[in-house]
Amino acid sequence: MSARIIDGKKWAGVVHEEARARVAELVKRFRAPGLGVILVGDNPASRIYVSNKEKACEAVGIRSVEVTMPATVTTEDVLAEVRKLNADPAIDGILVQLPLPDQVDEERVLLAVSPEKDVDGFHPENVGLLSIGKPRFVSCTPAGILDLLDREGVELKGKRAVVVGRSNIVGKPVAMLLLARHATVTICHSRTELLQVVCHSADILVAAVGKAEMVRGSWVKPGATVIDVGINRIDRGEGQKAKLVGDVCFEEAAGHAGLITPVPGGVGPMTIAMLLKNTLLSAERKG
Ligand code: NDP
């Protein structure tokens, strides 16, 4: 069997187009949505992520406001900027680019973001709302995964879903979303026994582990839908560009799965698309 590949880039493009149309509508009756982005320090990867997010905002008509701070700031300095954005009526979403420098208390900063503007869905109030089935903002990667499954017409009700990974930003929220859609969900982690056997029972298998190609083809039930969240950089030696691979061994798994996301070009593009969607939703709630 050879799996059909889920084209995350294509679907993210569709989400961008839908967002652009809705932003245009909102501008007519209210104003453009606004996203405040706090970037602390000079981590090159963070700089690239922020710039990609800002470009995506601009392309659909969302106004982004960047607050750049030096790596030497204190927690109080960052909190002061978060409070300014909380109080700004033209800002609908706030994103604090992680990681923050060691001396900054990340938890305090994330807690200070108004839950009404928490477009990353990291605030405990939004995590709680998701777990009681009344989501306000769902974190972007899990929301993107559900969006992909829906757009591909994958049936979730009554199906067995296995999520490998229990992080607060991917594993747990994606499990909550699948549960809310009536899948029977198992969450696995580093202490799970017989992991391969559990994975092999999955109609929908989500791998969010951070271990290159850990999930092998023999772990995949024939015809299953495989969602690979992992982004792992494999160094290929001097002068060679690092290769990006997922948490699933794509070549093997594609021989067993019915549907599969590639890395890159699967889940990744949907994450930014969902950030746009969350910011737009936040503005639409007001306008
Ligand atoms: P974390 O490191 O926070 O969590 C990893 C999880 O995997 C933990 O729950 C851990 O278990 C579990 N785990 C680790 N080793 C094993 C193992 N051998 N067997 C079973 N479970 C294991 O990672 P994240 O959730 O933040 O990210 C996961 C991956 O997804 C990473 O590659 C990351 O780069 C990528 N990612 C991609 C995004 C995208 O936009 N595409 C966005 C966010 C993340 P335990 O809890 O027991 O330690």
DSSP, res 240 = S
> Residue 159's domain is classified under what CATH number?
3.40.50.720
Same domain, 144 and 220: yes
pLDDT (tens digit per residue) in 139-160: 999 999 999 999 999 999 999 9
pTM score over 0.95? yes
8 A C-beta contact, residue 206 and residue 229: yes
229 lines ligand 1 (CB under 6 A): yes
What is the distance between the alpha carbons of residues 224 and 3, in angstroms, rounded to a whole number?
Answer: 9
Q: Specify the ligand 1 atom closest to the Cα of 210.
A: 32
CATH number for the domain including 73? 3.40.50.10860
Q: CA-to-CA distance for 29 and 9, rounded, in angstroms?
A: 31
Residue 171 lies in a domain: yes
Mean pLDDT of 195-220: 98
The answer to whether the CB of 142 is under 6 A from ligand 1 is no
Overall number of domains in the chain: 2
What is the share, in percent, of the chain residues with pLDDT greater than 70? 100
87-139, pLDDT tens digit by residue? Answer: 999 999 999 999 999 999 999 999 999 999 999 999 999 999 999 999 999 99
In a domain, 96, yes or no: yes
DSSP string, 111-171: HHS-GGG-TT--SHHHHHHHHTT--SS--HHHHHHHHHHHHTT---TT-EEEEE---TTTH
Residue nearest to atom 15 of ligand 1 (CA): 190
The residue ranking higher by pLDDT, 70 or 287, is 70
How far apart are the CA of 130 and the centre of ligand 1, in A?
20
| pLDDT tens digits for range 13-56 | 999 999 999 999 999 999 999 999 999 999 999 999 999 999 99
Whole-number average pLDDT of the chain: 97
Question: Distance between CA atoms of 170 and 99, rounded to whole angstroms?
Answer: 16
CA-to-CA distance for 172 and 162, rounded, in angstroms?
Answer: 11
For residues 98 and 183, membership in a common domain is answered with no
Final residue before a domain boundary, out of 85, 120, 155: 120
Structural domain range at position 46: 30-120
User: What is the pLDDT at residue 79?
Assistant: 98
Q: How many CA atoms does the CB half-sphere of 112 hold within 13 Å?
A: 21
d(CA 247, CA 215): 6
Task: Please check whether residue 133 lies inside any domain of the structure.
Answer: no
| Same-domain check for residues 152 and 115 | no
- Sequence-ordered list of residues with C-beta below 8 angstroms from that of 52, at least 6 positions apart, any chain: 272
How is residue 254 annotated by DSSP? T
- Residue 5, domain member (yes or no): no
Residues acting as catalytic residues: 53, 97, 120
Is residue 90 domain-shared with residue 202, that is, in the same domain? no
Identify the helix (H) or strand (E) that includes residue 38.
strand 34-40
The mean pLDDT of 221-249, rounded to a whole number, is 94
Q: What pLDDT score was predicted for residue 1?
A: 62
Residue 11 belongs to a domain: no
Residue 55 lies in a domain: yes
